Structure 1
């Protein structure tokens, strides 16, 4: 299944409390269960004012549907074309 990186503008994201992060994560997981196996959340990176999430999904519209149903932004959705890591060049 294709992999996507979602960039979310979330002012103050780096200052969210554990409780706030847990609540958002649980809501996301609830919607993922409703949408079935066609979309999967792999992990997210939180920076000062953005959250970058990595998902598996059949297409961009499925990723955007998930964001809309959760009520979170999906400012940029980019399909991953290639993964590069140090192992590739060892």
Structure 2
């Protein structure tokens, strides 16, 4: 099992290297009343974001977003913070904070 895990990690690393240098980022966006947005409003925001992403090309990928109180916490994969800031500017979205993910932990981390 350990060998297959090592092979999987090596495959992921080589895929990332082949695809170019990409990093994961979390973006904090303050949007007053975010928790009260309707499904139609969330769909409209998502469509606008996707349109801007398509115009920027494949190097920036929106993975998912969380709506919590007056904030959106968005997870993106991109080569740098600048392209994320450009996405925010072109889309008219706030990007109060853009931070690079330095590690990921979860329940499985305790078992390792």
The correspondence for 1:56, drawn from 60, 63, 77, is 77
Segments of 4+ moved more than 3 angstroms: none
Report the RMSD for the aligned CA atoms in angstroms.
0.5
Gaps in structure 1 of 5+ consecutive residues: none
The separation in 1 between residues aligned to 2:38 and 2:83, in whole angstroms, is 28
Counterpart position of 2:35: 14
Query: Is 1:2 aligned with 2:23?
Result: yes
TM, length-normalised to structure 2: 0.79
> Per-residue deviation at 1:73?
0.1
Structure 1 residue 48, shift from structure 2 partner: 1.1
Distance (Å, rounded) in 2 between the aligned partners of 1:87 and 1:48: 28
Normalising by structure 1, we get a TM-score of: 0.98
What whole-Å deviation, never above 9, does each CA across 1:51-80 have from its counterpart, x for those lacking one?
Answer: 000000000001000010110000000000
Aligned length: 90
More helix by share: 2
Q: State the SS of the aligned residue for 1:84.
A: coil
What is residue 102 of structure 2 aligned with on the other side?
Answer: 81
